Structure 1
């Protein structure tokens, strides 16, 4: 049945400065208006659950097991998997909104709209950032810019893997070009909160160059580290670190990064996705739906749904020795679960509720553990009067008892919404200064300047050591025995290149634990197979659902191209190897 429309909106009529603002706002809005758990901006499942950081959690292996469960064990994941297609689809919606905005902005005079160049910079940043995420997910994807116009046929004809180029570097080049254009156009400070600024673009230029530097072959194996790329990345990293104490810096307490009152309110945050609540919208707010499943299960005012647990391996990594340094070699010889067993092998809930004192009392700990994991018997989110309980863990027998908490608020905040599912409106900090410091350390080590990497690593460790003030019980004593020392060459370590690299990787893992960075760090460094299969070897002895888990090099570094997209492109897309 064909019905002729009564009216058609002519986009040619939308040419005023107010209209330009509308196109730009629509692009930002689509990032926060994604009504799905598998949002490309929900980093826990794409970067933590697929690494040694986290477990899926939820009601059991059955709960999302045919998607996320396949992802975390790297078995049975196919191009038809349900969590694969939507991130691709919605990403190109955002990209197309960016392109539409740029097309419209190109047609207005600067004198009529003085913010023209700034807004184009914002749109190029968002376009590049979304392409960057797709590149991390799929390696090869069509790069769509404002010059691609016409019907669906013109878009279908853009290949994800252009045969004219020998490898994937051409895609990185296009992402890099957009970020550089954005940096040139964006101001140092935006008058409105939430808009990207120059530092966000500068940081992403450096991050892109770092990924470009670790050059891969067709089987995703790192075959060369391009030091020219890293040298260029250092220039951009220095642009940011040179502002320390003025526009950027570390929060005094690590936990400030993970409370809703810090939204748009710290020097440490370089760019954050903006969420809102009670903003007059029909849904109750532009809330973070991508991490809505992660709240505790029917506890403390939270109602759903118990996903995303910190792995026992990750929890162990926070142990420190008598010298205050990580237990690099012996950290994973036992785990939380070893100290709570009944004689029949089941978990003793009384020991869980008591806070597992034998396990935690056996070691000293990096305070970042308690900023990362919610533990039954310990205070929840810096409130000595609110003790987390085992009933907030939906299935501890299968996913352990360490709940990820960085993305979660105190239940008394004014940032919670329940509409049949549980959500919160805390902003998502996508770039922070602490990780910029660790990027700089990484680059310096790879450039054989490891002595210079000591300072940024120690800066992060020193802040960690000073972040125990909020981690107290009702009687004012510390929740755990916290002990962290900085690296002191010649005193507690031998600071050569190998040790510096190990220290940097460890620090990166502790600092960004559960925040979706880990898988992509390992992807960049080229050691996913080694790390993940060593992880699985031990985890299989802890949880039966890990029995078949195995990482296959040359396949599992990237997702398959979604089958729906392969069909849509009518033969113009190339599937990733192994799928």
Structure 2
């Protein structure tokens, strides 16, 4: 699915309509002003313009990096896959957040802007639905289709709020704006999420044209919503339908790509693995249409030899890198021994870029070098990662760089937008749900409500793609593998406990750095144990960052309700989450 970027006059009209009709920044407090009359936006063109504005909210609204769809901070940093990176002084408001010491009084308004942006998306969806209800131009089929798109998007925004804040305000298009400010944050979010996804599934076609959501995106999202509620049997039914029948909006049957790296290549956007994604665009007059939310997440100080030149954020953790260690037979170390000194990856931590370094020679899952930039390994088509020269502060953030959603040297100025303060904003689709994610969610549902053999089949489908040696990272100008890659499929899942461990670890390896990990740990009920182990390990290496940090069960599973919202609406209406 794409976010339209207002490239034509008619789409620009849609953007203008949204600008005049959307609610104020503080959605719970101030009524919208300067609204156009219903008749002006209830035309077919007006409704489509409003809907385009709703799609655009997937990419964020107010320009705060927590609004981005990739959740690199809340999903990956809080999930232990990465740390903030850079140094202690840069974006200092993230320092307490990554230590699980977030405050409702957020000096950078990160949580407040995330809250505001998702409710802005909901308000835009509701405007579309009201305009459809008031329209005399639309036939029944078009009205149902457009409403299906708006409701799927609204369900997405509510789902995002639910997984971040848990206790949220819930309303639909029938609630008057004056009454919204009186609603407490204890609404039944799952009810409206499921209702929206069901409506979208029932009313959207399988093929809905480029840039539009379709019924299969709704079905996959419904399965995910069921899984988050531990409704495993219902989730299994939805995933069964998606796996057997699902197609992209342009009619491609869902499938795993042969080449893992092509999932994150702008030249291969809208591929068969994409279930629901957000499209980027370049040279539109605003880098807001590119992957602006990743502008900090390039290796540091790369010069012309690397992408971006800034800023060294989002550095993969030691724990995440070690997780790609395999046995000699090519299976993961599910017992956690990958962090043991005998198994931990050799890295250049503390070694100057001009000093000799011996690369790790042990067996590794080949996905590591599609996910993590590490010294001596080709960094896409740039150069071999030089180590410390591309790291702002190793003692603070470790030796690794991010590698997913980074643009290639050959794509600079064609698939990047260099019109702002860094050399290139990548313009590749960010995937909210992809087919490998669906298979692994389906495997979870099979373990709890179906068949261990079916779960094994799904996990092995994902591992078989990773085992395609044709697409492993090679040395430059050579067919030689860049590292000792060893991976194999599981021969069996002997029991449900082993199967759960295997599926959960496979999600960690396959979906690393894509913003899912923290929310997975919370829904599995293991966040405190896993993340405190992570903190204990990382603090032995990055003591100044993580020493004394801890995850508090019953509190840190959810973000604080922004104090700014409570102050404006009233503590008698909005209540703070436990522990804050």
Q: Which bin holds the TM-score, normalised by the shorter protein?
A: 0.7 to 0.9
Which aligned pairs between 1:495-506 and structure 2 lie closer than 5 A?
495-506=494-505
1:467, 1:257 → 2: CA distance?
17
Question: Which shows bigger deviation, 236-245 or 401-410?
Answer: 236-245
**Post-superposition CA distance 1:195-225 (Å, at most 9, x none):** 1111110001000011112xxxxxxxxxxxx
- Determine helix, strand or coil for the equivalent of 1:293: coil
**Post-superposition CA distance 1:95-137 (Å, at most 9, x none):** 1111001100112247557521111101001111011000010
1:101 aligns with 2:139: no
Which aligned pairs between 1:378-397 and structure 2 lie closer than 5 A?
378-381=377-380, 383=381, 386-390=383-387, 391-397=389-395
Contact persistence 1:372–1:514 (CA under 8 A): yes
1:139 aligns with 2:166: yes
Contact persistence 2:347–2:374 (CA under 8 A): no
Residue of structure 2 equivalent to 1:302: 308
Deviation at 1:76, TM superposition (A): 5.0
Contact persistence 1:49–1:308 (CA under 8 A): yes
**Post-superposition CA distance 1:506-538 (Å, at most 9, x none):** 101000001110000011000000001111111
Contact persistence 2:321–2:345 (CA under 8 A): no
1:75 aligns with 2:101: yes
| Aligned partner (choices 180, 185, 190) of residue 155 of structure 1 | 180
Structure 1's 505 and 528: CA in aligned 2 closer, same or farther, altered over 3 A?
Answer: same
**Post-superposition CA distance 1:229-270 (Å, at most 9, x none):** 211111110011113796111000111101111211x11111
Deviation at 1:402, TM superposition (A): 1.4
Residue of structure 2 equivalent to 1:454: 456
Contact persistence 2:70–2:432 (CA under 8 A): no
Residue of structure 1 equivalent to 2:74: 46
Deviation at 1:347, TM superposition (A): 3.1
Residue of structure 1 equivalent to 2:15: none
| Aligned partner (choices 331, 334, 339) of residue 332 of structure 1 | 339
Deviation at 1:336, TM superposition (A): 6.5
Residue of structure 1 equivalent to 2:435: 433
Question: Which shows bigger deviation, 73-82 or 529-538?
Answer: 73-82
Structure 1's 448 and 182: CA in aligned 2 closer, same or farther, altered over 3 A?
Answer: closer
2:163, 2:127 → 1: CA distance?
24
- Determine helix, strand or coil for the equivalent of 2:471: coil
Which aligned pairs between 1:379-528 and structure 2 lie closer than 5 A?
379-381=378-380, 383=381, 386-390=383-387, 391-413=389-411, 414-418=414-418, 419-421=420-422, 422-447=424-449, 449-466=451-468, 469-474=471-476, 475-489=478-492, 495-528=494-527
Deviation at 1:304, TM superposition (A): 1.4
Deviation at 1:350, TM superposition (A): 3.6
Residue of structure 2 equivalent to 1:221: none
Contact persistence 1:50–1:519 (CA under 8 A): yes
| Aligned partner (choices 171, 189, 196) of residue 213 of structure 2 | 196
- Determine helix, strand or coil for the equivalent of 1:572: coil
Residue of structure 2 equivalent to 1:558: 558
2:65, 2:497 → 1: CA distance?
39
Contact persistence 2:258–2:465 (CA under 8 A): yes
Deviation at 1:33, TM superposition (A): 5.4
- Determine helix, strand or coil for the equivalent of 1:458: helix
1:119, 1:388 → 2: CA distance?
47
State the TM-score, normalized to the length of structure 1. Answer: 0.87
- Determine helix, strand or coil for the equivalent of 1:272: strand
Deviation at 1:470, TM superposition (A): 4.6
Residue of structure 1 equivalent to 2:12: none
State the TM-score, normalized to the length of structure 2. Answer: 0.87
Structure 1's 472 and 285: CA in aligned 2 closer, same or farther, altered over 3 A?
Answer: same
1:91 aligns with 2:121: no
Structure 1's 467 and 132: CA in aligned 2 closer, same or farther, altered over 3 A?
Answer: farther
**Post-superposition CA distance 1:306-329 (Å, at most 9, x none):** 111111111111111111111223
Structure 1's 267 and 339: CA in aligned 2 closer, same or farther, altered over 3 A?
Answer: closer
1:69, 1:508 → 2: CA distance?
26
Which aligned pairs between 1:3-82 and structure 2 lie closer than 5 A?
9-32=36-59, 34=61, 35-58=63-86, 60-66=87-93, 68-82=94-108
Question: Which shows bigger deviation, 518-527 or 419-428?
Answer: 419-428
- Determine helix, strand or coil for the equivalent of 2:66: coil
1:465, 1:55 → 2: CA distance?
28
Q: How many residues align?
A: 528
Contact persistence 1:337–1:400 (CA under 8 A): no
